[in-house]
Amino acid sequence: MRFRDAAAAVAAALAMSGASVYAAANQVKAEILARLQQAAPGVAPADYALGSAAFDAELRAALQEKAGESAAVIEAGKKVWTRKFRNGRTLAACFPNGGRRIAATYPQYDSRLKRVVTLEMAVNQCLKANGEPLFEMAEPQTMGAAIAYLRSLSDAQKAAVRVSAAAEERFEEGRRLYFTRMGQRNFACASCHVQSPGRRYTEQVLSPAIGQATHWPIIRGGRAITLQARIRECLEIMGAAPFPAGSEELNNIEYFLAYLSNGLPLRANVVRPER
């Protein structure tokens, strides 16, 4: 199959993947995919899972070399995951199969709570249910490490986030925020990640919106940085007051991004250069 045919086939599969009953979500994804392909036609959609590294062979090679640096964080996360609570239970006991192969379906819409539940929230729900102190949502040593380990248990699983009709508003709110210009610099997330993927802002290659949710947390300077922590950094660059980690706003943006990544393989704990 010629590259263009192959890319079109992957693009169609990406656009249609996922168990959505919300047809508009697929339409949104197809439109974003078309814009990304127009902005960076040389990159196959399947490579979007690599994030910014999809556009930069030099970065890809450098990251490959440093891949081992994630091991210590994952090991620390395993300790957090298996540490016994005062009641003798563990975080692992709160999740099906000890947390194996569950990350691909997160975030999820909880119809009882009427809100999006991220993996981080699910971890804190477990702590709360067991009378344990909650973790700070984006704190690298506790929540970050736990999420690093938990997500490592789903490596290579394909993202499969569901947007039900009841969750339509949350997805739409995430989309709206992603495309809304904010802050003193007047950037939207989409200014960089839909309009300018593959281009360099300072020395950083800008990642595409599709695939952006597949490789979290990233490991930077030996610390696990969650997707929401990274979005907060972007908001600061935009000159906007960052939404708190775990806020409705960031949960909805994460939900939107995770849906866009449906069909792409998860690969947690990729190492990124220190700033």
Partner 1 sequence: MRPGLRFAAAAALTALPALAQEPRALDLFVRPDKGHCIACHQLPQGVGPTTRADVGPRLEGARMRELGRDALKEIIDDPTRRNPDTVMPPFGRHRILEAREIDALGAFLHALP
Active site residues: 234
Output the CA–CA distances (angstroms, integers) from residue 204 to 196, 241, 264, in the order listed: 12, 22, 23
Pick the stretch among 25-33, 128-136, 178-186, 253-261 that binds partner 1 (CB under 8 A).
178-186
Residues 6+ away with beta carbon under 8 Å from 9: 1
| CB-nearer residue toward partner 1: 97 or 184 | 184
User: Does residue 199 touch partner 1 according to CB under 8 A?
Assistant: yes
Cβ atoms of 232 and 243 closer than 8 Å? yes
Q: How many residues bind partner 1 (CB under 8 A)?
A: 15
Site for partner 1 (CB under 8 A): which residue of 64, 87, 185, 221? 185
Cα dist from 161 to 153, 165, 210, 225, 262, whole Å: 17, 13, 13, 21, 6
Helices (H), the chain: 3-16, 23-39, 57-66, 71-82, 119-129, 145-152, 168-179, 189-193, 227-237, 248-260
The Cα 163–Cα 21 span in angstroms is 7
Amino acid residing at 234: C
Q: Is residue 202 involved in binding partner 1 (CB under 8 A)?
A: yes
Binding mask 50-89 for partner 1 (x = CB under 8 A): ----------------------------------------
What does the per-residue mask of binding to partner 1 show for 117-156, with x meaning CB under 8 A?
----------------------------------------
User: Rounded distance, CA 189 to CA 182, Å?
Assistant: 9
Q: How far is the CB of 176 from partner 1 (least distance, A)?
A: 17
Of 103, 148, 206, 270, which lies in the binding site for partner 1, with binding defined by CB under 8 A?
206
Contact status: 195 vs partner 1 (CB under 8 A): yes
Q: What is the residue-wise DSSP string for 166-210?
A: GGHHHHHHHHHHHHS-BTTTTB-HHHHHTTSTT-EETTEEPPPST
Span from 2-10, 23-31, 99-107, 201-209 in contact with partner 1 (CB under 8 A): 201-209
**Cα–Cα distance, 70 to 225 (Å, whole number):** 11
For position 166 contacting partner 1 by CB under 8 A, the verdict is no
Among the candidate windows 47-55, 154-162, 199-207, 259-267, which touches partner 1 by CB under 8 A? 199-207
**The one segment of 40-48, 104-112, 169-177, 181-189 that binds partner 1 by CB under 8 A:** 181-189
> Which residues lie near partner 1 (CB under 8 A)?
184-187, 191-192, 195-196, 199-203, 206, 239
